[in-house]
Each structure stands twice: as C-alpha cells, then as structure tokens.
Copies of this chain bind each other. A is one copy, B any other.
Amino acid sequence: MRIVVLAGGIGGARFLRGLKQAAPDADITVIGNTGDDIHLFGLKVCPDLDTVMYTLGGGINEEQGWGRADETFHLKEELAAYGVGPEWFGLGDRDFATHIVRTQMIGAGYPLSAVTAALCDRWKPGVRLIPMTDDRVETHVAVTLPEADGAAGAGERRAVHFQEYWVRLRASVPAEAVVPVGAEQAKPAPGVLEAIAQADVVLFPPSNPVVSIGTILAVPGIREAIADAGVPVVGLSPIVGDAPVRGMADKVLAAVGVESTAAAVAEHYGSGLLDGWLVDTVDAGVVERVRAAGIRCRAVPLMMTGLDATAQMAREALDLAEEVRGA
C-alpha cells in the first residue's frame, strides 16, 4: 500500500510514528511543510522537515517534541554573548550540524529535496520525506505587535515570520492574516505530484490546518493532484473539544475565519478535497454535521498519548479510507 501523508512538525511526526507501526509494510511518502523554514545565523533551518526526520530517525527530544535528544546549547549561548540573535529560537549544538550541512549543500547547488534525501541517508526515517517545494515559501503572519513588546515596532502592525509569531510572540496577539509568501510562484518538489498520483490513500495527520497542511496545499498543483487522484483522502482532527490538542492552531484558524472546532476544520478542507474525517470521541456530536457536508466521519480516540494509541488512530484512518474506497 502506498500512503502519502502531508505533515507539519510535531503532530505530523508523531502520527507518522504510529502509522509506521500500524502499516509496517506500507510505502509511505511524506510531503513536508517548508513554510516555517527560516534563515538564522546564515543557515537554512527547516523545523518541520527536521522534526519528522529526527522523530522517525530516533534523534528527537521526546519530551519537547522538537530538537535533538541529549542536546546542549553552548553555541547559542556564545552567539548571545556576541549580541547576535535572535535568542528566542532554540538551536542546539547538535541541531546546528543539520543546518550547516543543509546550508553547505544548498550553497553547492543542490535543491532542498536532494538535501533532505541526503540528510535522511543518515537518519533512515523509514519513509520518503520530500519537501513540498524546492522554492522558497515563507509563511508570514500579520499582527499588531504588543504594546509592551521588547522588540522594535511595539504597538505597530507588522508582518512577521511565522516563527517569530509562534515562538517569540507565542501567538499572544491575534493573527490578522496568514500569508504563505512565495507559494503562488512555487512548484511542487520533484516526486510530490508523482507520489500523489501513485498513492492508494492520502492522509492529513492532526497537523495545523492553516500553517502546516494549508501551506502545503497552497503550492499550486498539490491540492488539485490530491483532489484528482481518485483515492481516499482522510484526515484526523487536530481540534479536540473545541481546542487544539497541542500548539495554538485556534490562533491561525481565526485568521482564516474558521472556528476552532473539529467540524469547522473538516468543512474548511471541504468535501472536494476530503473524503473522510476522524474526530475525537468527545466530539461525537459533530459527526452528523461533518457527514452533512459530504464527508464520511467517525468519532474515535484522537489523543496521541503513546505509540500504541497513535498506531490505533492510524488504523482508524486507514479503515475509514477503506470505507471510502468501498463506497
């Protein structure tokens, strides 16, 4: 079975670990979000790709969900001692190596997809990890900076890099707009459309519907390829009981006018794209509403409390996909 998964960072990575256990023989291609990539200290950092790679490759900081295990932060301390920031982005000493290798390869002319494949030669994530595009896409968030913001521009309206919104500002102010800058001109990376065309099923893990999966779908050609693939497309709600399971998805959902409910996210994707949708058992009450939107829906436990629970979620998603296929 060939499975294509659109993935952001922590949520996508943890779901993938469950999927690998649930479908050990499946051929899994992961299309990774690169909209939150950022250039720091002259280095290209791809937080979502790395989170998937480290999580599936056994190098992740398990508690934190991102970054490397057994990490130290000496380099970052020294940069701060030189007065060189930003200090709010947590790059560890081990993690820096990934960004140095990536930046060197890109400088040598390799596209990000080839670089990602090279990095995965070491990590052996057990999936094929492809960035959504080799082109530069950078998610910006329009905000009014807090009056008490320590940075320049306090109280002013600004477009900030997604990482600045998410990590420095901790989504403490409303996201007035979310724009994947460059997406319109971007082309899917080599292998993306081919993987979708050959897939038996496409899954949307409980990743952020706006800044993770939404950004991937914003690359021209990807949404259309999925809609036209003629195979079941099944998603898992990242919203449980009207709140994000983790992260601050509600903040960016508001920016696109979508309420933070499991049903509203399904309707946001729409029946033109989505065939099946899993909501958590606490949201069993919305199943009928989702079905009314033309999307098959089931309520099952959606808390990724451990590998077995996550594998069971993956099984439920694949099972719903089979229901779609048989319909």
Contacts and interface: CB of A to CB of B under 8 A. Distances in A.
B42 A83 contact: no
Interface string A89-105: 00011101110110110
Contact of A122 (B43, B81, B122): B81
Given A100-B42, A103-B42, A104-B42, A93 B79 contact: no
A26 to B, nearest CB: 27
A77 B103 CA distance: 18
A76 to B, nearest CB: 8
Nearest to A81: B122
Contacts of A42: 42, 100, 103-104, 107
A75 interface: yes
A18 to B, nearest CB: 27
A93 B81 contact: no
Q: Can you tell how many copies of this chain the complex includes? A: 2
A41 interface: yes
A34 to B, nearest CB: 20
A97 B72 contact: no
A93 B122 contact: no
Interface in A11-56: 41-43
Which secondary structure characterizes the binding site on chain A? helix
A94 B96 CA distance: 12
A104 B91 CA distance: 17
Q: Of residues A41, A42, A72, A76, which shows the largest number of chain B Cβ atoms within 10 Å of its Cβ?
A: A42
Nearest to A42: B104
A81 to B, nearest CB: 6
A41 B100 contact: yes
A151 to B, nearest CB: 19
Nearest to A103: B42
A76 B78 CA distance: 16
Contacts of A101: 79, 82, 84
A100 B74 contact: no
Contacts of A98: 78, 82
A87 to B, nearest CB: 13
A119 interface: yes
A93 B100 CA distance: 13
A82 B41 contact: no
Nearest to A95: B78
A96 B74 CA distance: 9
A103 B103 CA distance: 13
Interface in A265-321: none
Contacts of A72: 72, 74, 93
B103 A78 contact: no
Contact of A79 (B74, B76, B84, B97): B97
Contacts of A96: 75, 78, 93, 96
9 contacts: A41-B100, A42-B42, A72-B74, A78-B94, A79-B100, A81-B122, A82-B101, A93-B96, A96-B96
Interface of A: 41-43, 71-72, 74-79, 81-84, 92-94, 96-98, 100-101, 103-104, 107, 119, 122
Q: Pick the 4 closest A-B CB pairs, nearest first.
A: A78-B97, A74-B93, A93-B93, A42-B104
